[in-house]
Amino acid sequence: QVQLQESGPGLVKPSQTLSLTCTVSGGSISSGGYYWSWIRQHPGKGLEWIGYIYYSGSTYYNPSLKSRVTISVDTSKNQFSLKLSSVTAADTAVYYCARGPLGDYYFDYWGQGTLVTVSS
């Protein structure tokens, strides 16, 4: 059973960089066949896809966030990470990591989510 677990600071100051890591267990990122995504949910709101990475390192980002987002992968640790720069209060959200099958467009496994609050 594949499991994903987000980790990182729960509080980030405005203008700083939000950094989160997703650790994958029960499956290897480097085996291919899946893309690894970050998705966020603002408090009481719907879902917003942030971007994804493939094990090779190729990425695709939501154009609305592209200028501030970097997603990277560390296959040796079976982890992938999110960096979101120049954060504001509008970036306060629950951040999820999720897996999706290559060639299709859904997310079959999700992490439990982590709340990141942007506040001074």
Partner 1 sequence: QSALTQPASVSGSPGQSITISCTGTSSDVGGYNYVSWYQQHPGKAPKLMIYDVSNRPSGVSNRFSGSKSGNTASLTISGLQAEDEADYYCSSYTSSSTHWVFGGGTKLTVL
Site string (44-83) toward partner 1, x via CB under 8 A: -xxxxx----------x-xxx-------------------
Distance CA 71, CA 6 (A): 14
Tokens representing 19?
């950094």
Q: Does 96 bind partner 1 (CB under 8 A)?
A: yes
Tokens representing 113?
């989510």
Q: Does 10 bind partner 1 (CB under 8 A)?
A: no
Q: Does 36 bind partner 1 (CB under 8 A)?
A: no
Q: Which of 67, 88, 106, 120 binds partner 1 (CB under 8 A)?
A: 106
Q: Which of 34, 55, 95, 107 binds partner 1 (CB under 8 A)?
A: 107
Question: What b/e string do you get for 90-111 counting C-beta neighbours within 10 Å, with b at 16 or more?
Answer: ebbbbbbbbbbeeeeeebebeb
Q: How far is the CB of 6 from partner 1 (least distance, A)?
A: 10
Q: Within the chain, how many helices (H) and strands (E) appear?
A: 0, 11
